[in-house]
Amino acid sequence: MISRKYQSIIILCLSFFVLAACSAQSTGQQHEVKEVNLLFNFATSSLDPNVDTSYVSLRAGITETLVHLNDKDLTIEPWLAKSWSSKDGQLWEFQLRDGVTFQNGEAMDGQAVKASLERAMKDSLAIKNALRIESITAKGNALTIKTEVPFPEFPSELVHPNTSIIDVTEPDFINKPIGTGPFAVSKFIPGTAVELTRYEAYWGGAAKLAKARFSFNEDANARSLALESGDADIVFRPEVESLASLEAIDRVKVESTSTFRVHQMTMNLEKKELQDINVRKAMDALIDRSAIAGTILHGHAEVAKGPFPSTFSFAPSYPEKEKGMEAARRYLEQAGYKEVNDVMQKEGKPLTFTLLTYSSRADLPLIAQVFQSDAGQLGIDVNIKQIEIPEEYMAANRDWDLTTYSNLTAPRGDAGYYLNATYHPKGALNFSGADDDHLTAMIDELNVTVGQEKRSDIAEDIALYVDEQVYNSFILHPNTLVAYDADKVKNWITSRSEYYMLTNELDVK
């Protein structure tokens, strides 16, 4: 029935697919070279280290920053800069590490770093605002940087991956940035992967791996399947639901590490009900943190006692608080509320809340539902409203009471970012509308205090005050999950900061 012409077309198509399948098998058999494939959960179409917000260049070991975040205690330590100092927090002297070269063989000296930082500030407004640099002077391996205002946390801002040092004389920042890291780009397929080769003259010692591949897939199920199939050796954030099946595979090891993120219940302090501290305490007591961490995050989270995870040096010992349904009821009674006919009310007005949540973090809507259910048992009606971009909605609208929100706390090892952004009246993330003179004065003091110890002491006091006033309620610190082929991969360290992934120490067995 089918003519010869059509038969030929069908045969041609089938041959095309069969040939392609064969080509895949042949490439899969090459295992001679020491190589790993890391599968990351964000994709990028540009490797530009100063602009790309997936930070692939730093994570893939192509570039490095002046200052490093120690993954054990999340404090800052030297990296491309071997030391720094400042007397007034405004004029900074940096001494660069000797003998560091870019992957093109050029020396990394003061002039190169100056040009790189100036380029970063020119092309990224975020970095310009983060660094607040007025001028840079370079002489040999010494760098003098003056900030616009006294800025004691300046060195910690240099941890930011977008401040990566690159050779700006090279033309192709997007596809082949030239950094100082242990791996150089050999091929970049935008949105899919970057292929890397060892940089033999790396200052920290040539990488143990000859090659590496840093690939991207935003679907958690697909990432898990890639590890199962052997396509990927290390997989970032596999699907939580598939962890049991991954752990059942002998060669696969799953690691769960705390990070510096906090899931919190943001409270709108402009709402009359929430201006009463007892109502805020009641909401805080209502949140069943252990149950949420256990059931929604399958135990891969640290129950939050305050804004900062216990790993940070500035995380204080918070006083124990009363928790649970009965404690919440008592706080509400102190605020003048009574439960009448299963409805919590004050002067005949029922207590109701609009709770915002958003789906880009899958656990937040579930936390909102748990809270709604628990509040319902106390006679509080919680109306959940799904929004798309929380920062935009909360800034532009005041028709909400509570929000399940996820915040970075100290992404560069200093408390200044979170406290300024979230509790200072001028902070862009101060959605609660916190405007407390005492709190503002403490943050202002932190902003001019030089020295890590002193800063930590002030940050501790602020964290304790915020917790005491229940300006927000802190739920948990979610963990980062990494699964990898333990039969193949050696020396893998799951980075708490999530900045440092492919290192010169990473190896295969």
320 near 303, Cβ under 8 Å?
no
Closer residue to another protein in complex, CB, 201/362 = 362
Closest distance of CB 492 from another protein, Å: 21
380 near 337, Cβ under 8 Å?
no
DSSP letters for 283-301: HHHH--HHHIIIIISTT-E
475 near 265, Cβ under 8 Å?
yes
Closer residue to another protein in complex, CB, 323/361 = 361
Closer residue to another protein in complex, CB, 361/490 = 361
Closest distance of CB 233 from another protein, Å: 13
162 near 120, Cβ under 8 Å?
yes
Closer residue to another protein in complex, CB, 50/311 = 50
Closest distance of CB 53 from another protein, Å: 6
Pull the structure tokens for residue 214. Answer: 């840093």
End-to-end CA distance of the chain: 58
Distance in angstroms (rounded) separating the CA atoms of residues 317 and 45: 43
317 near 356, Cβ under 8 Å?
no
356 CB contacts (<8 Å, ≥6 apart)?
Answer: 385, 386, 387, 390, 393, 394, 400, 402, 403, 404
Closer residue to another protein in complex, CB, 10/362 = 10
Closest distance of CB 420 from another protein, Å: 5
> Residue 267 forms beta bridges with which residues?
402
Closest distance of CB 302 from another protein, Å: 20
CA distances from 431 to 270, 390, 484 (A): 10, 10, 39
Closer residue to another protein in complex, CB, 45/372 = 45
Closest distance of CB 421 from another protein, Å: 5
CA distances from 27 to 24, 142, 220, 247 (A): 5, 48, 25, 27
Distance in angstroms (rounded) separating the CA atoms of residues 188 and 179: 15
377 near 343, Cβ under 8 Å?
no
> Residue 139 forms beta bridges with which residues?
142
121 CB contacts (<8 Å, ≥6 apart)?
Answer: 127, 128, 131, 133
Closest distance of CB 340 from another protein, Å: 39
Distance in angstroms (rounded) separating the CA atoms of residues 20 and 246: 29
Closest distance of CB 417 from another protein, Å: 5
Query: Interface with another protein by CB under 8 A: which residues?
Result: 1-3, 6, 10, 13-14, 16-17, 19-21, 23-25, 27-28, 43, 45-46, 48, 51-53, 123, 125-127, 129-130, 160, 174, 189-193, 215-219, 221-222, 225-226, 228-232, 388-389, 391-393, 395-396, 407-408, 411, 416-417, 420-421, 424, 426-429
496 near 477, Cβ under 8 Å?
no
Tell me, what DSSP letter sits at residue 94? E
Closer residue to another protein in complex, CB, 59/424 = 424
**Phi then psi dihedrals of residue 105, to 5 deg:** 95, -10
Closest distance of CB 358 from another protein, Å: 12
Closer residue to another protein in complex, CB, 190/204 = 190
Closer residue to another protein in complex, CB, 322/392 = 392
Closest distance of CB 219 from another protein, Å: 5
CA dihedral 285, 475, 466, 338 (to 10 degrees): -20
Closest distance of CB 145 from another protein, Å: 18
Closer residue to another protein in complex, CB, 163/504 = 163
Closer residue to another protein in complex, CB, 51/277 = 51
